[in-house]
Amino acid sequence: MEQRIDTTGAELERQTAPRNHLIEEFLAYLQFERGLADNTVSSYRRDLVQFQIFIDDGHIAVEEATTSNIRDFISSLGGEDTIPAGATVARKVSVLRSFYKYLCREQLTPANPVVPIKSPKQGHKLPTVLNLAEVKILLAQPGSGSPGALRDSAMLELLYSAGLRVSELIGLVCGDVDLEGGYVRCMGKGSKERMIPVGEPALDSVRRYLSSGRPFLGKGVKTAHLFLNRFGRGLTRQSAHRMLVGYARKTGISKTVTPHTLRHSFATHLLSGGADLRSVQEMLGHADVSTTQIYTHLSHERLRDIYFDSHPRARKSPVND
């Protein structure tokens, strides 16, 4: 019977495999030499352990895997009724390619078995973007009635004003927001620091939170984190996500809204307003400008709408009788 791998998170959690020293050395290299974020390293670990489980079934060591073994693994992805998305397969192929490239460089395997394998073509799914009216409605949701509301308002304002990732937002400490200079300093992917301009509404929101919100959250608990929960500890990604989704539901916005939606909206609105691609790339912290270029497509669509709504000869004139 053909072996199939269930790629659901729950099933992978149930599957176990003994720690492989080559995988652990590679993960340590990613973390300590390349400076990849913990979440990225964890993602690499899941994919590599999944592959290890697959080849262990055939009593094959990872350093002895062949191109045929890699192809069999890719074919096995998904359960009985599940076809994994192209992006999922492409990610796993990319992880294996990096892993075996590392093993070859360290002379731990004779050849990279992933070289002949092409990643599947991926469709370009455009990110969800809020229009200006929707952003305004969302940012107004928390109000200013309690310390928690002041915190939530400041968080939403910073997500949109600076285009932060949620991990960057919750990682901020009090000194990271320069209220006088109008900048926020954050640590992005690969432990790369960047400075991003922040608009006055967001700065005002942070000021209100620092004066009337943060001092009342977790009294007596000392921590440098800017955004605190009611116990005085730093927020988690999950709690920040729940907060934003909860406010989005209250607005009645039909789109799927996540913290990253505000980051997408930040970039698209900047480009639509005339910002150049390189500046937006720097503010987003993208290593490659090609990652930022997806937003040019979105802004071009917006420009097209403006053109057809505004230009007197954009559409056919009605035929006169």
Marked catalytic residue, from 92, 151, 214, 263: 263
Tell me, rounded to whole angstroms, the distance of Cα 63 from its chain centroid: 31
Residues 6+ apart with CB under 8 A from 37: 167, 189, 190, 191
Active site residue 255: no
Q: What is the CA radius of gyration of the chain?
A: 24
Marked catalytic residue, from 165, 214, 264, 269: 165
Marked catalytic residue, from 101, 207, 225, 260: 260
Q: Are the C-beta atoms of 137 and 113 separated by less than 8 Å? A: no
Q: Are the C-beta atoms of 299 and 272 separated by less than 8 Å? A: yes
- Helix then strand then coil, in percent of the chain rounded to 5, is 55, 5, 40
Active site residue 189: yes
Marked catalytic residue, from 189, 207, 225, 237: 189
Exposure on the CB side of residue 53, measured as CA atoms within 13 A: 20
* Helical pair 147-162 and 259-272, crossing angle rounded to 10 deg: 40
Marked catalytic residue, from 44, 160, 247, 295: 295
Q: Nearest-CA neighbor of 177 among 210, 143, 152, 222?
A: 210
Active site residue 208: no
Marked catalytic residue, from 46, 241, 286, 302: 286
Active site residue 263: yes
Q: Which residues belong to the active site?
A: 165, 189, 260, 263, 286, 295
